[in-house]
Amino acid sequence: MYEASIALSLLDVASEVLREHGAARASALTVRVGQWSSVAPEALTAAFPACAAGTGLEGARLSVVTVPGVGECPAHGRVTLDVTRGLRCPECGAPTPTLVQGNALELDELELAEPDLEDV
C-alpha cells in the first residue's frame, strides 16, 4: 500500500516536530492532501493507525483536508480544476499547463498531548 509509506514519512515529520517542542506525544494532526497528489485520503487514514503504533503519535486523531487543484489559464487566470477534465480550464477548455495548487501533501497542524503525570 503506497499510503503506508506516505504515513511513515508523515510520522517522521511529525516526530521531528515533537522533538523540536520537547513533547512526547501528539493527540491530533491535520494534513492537507492535494486532489492531484495521487494520495488517497481514505487509504492514508486507514494506514495511519498501524504505522503510528509504538510512536508518539499512537492514538492520535488524523484529519485530512482535501486541497483542490488550481491551474493557471492563459485567458482566465487562476481556475479550480476538475480532476475528471484534466489540466484544462473549466471556463474555456484551454490547457492549463501550470498547476499552482493541489499536488502536495503537507503536515498542517500538530496538536501536542498534555503530558501524563508519569511523564513529568
Query: What is residue 117's predicted lDDT score, i.e. its pLDDT?
Result: 47
Instruction: Give the span between the Cα atoms of 103 and 64, in whole angstroms.
Output: 14
Phi, psi dihedrals of residue 42, rounded to the nearest 5°: -65, -40
Give the residues of the chain that fall short of pLDDT 50: 117, 120
Separation CA 61–CA 85 (nearest Å): 33
What's the pTM value of the predicted model, to 2 decimals?
0.82
Q: How many residues in the chain?
A: 120
pLDDT for 2? 78
Contacts of 9 (CB under 8 A, 6+ apart): none
**Pick among 3.90.1140.10, 3.40.50.720, 2.60.120.330, 3.30.2320.50: CATH of 2-67+102-114:** 3.30.2320.50
- Dist CA 64 CA 14 (whole Å): 15
Across the strands, what pairs with 72?
78, 98
At 120 the pLDDT is: 47
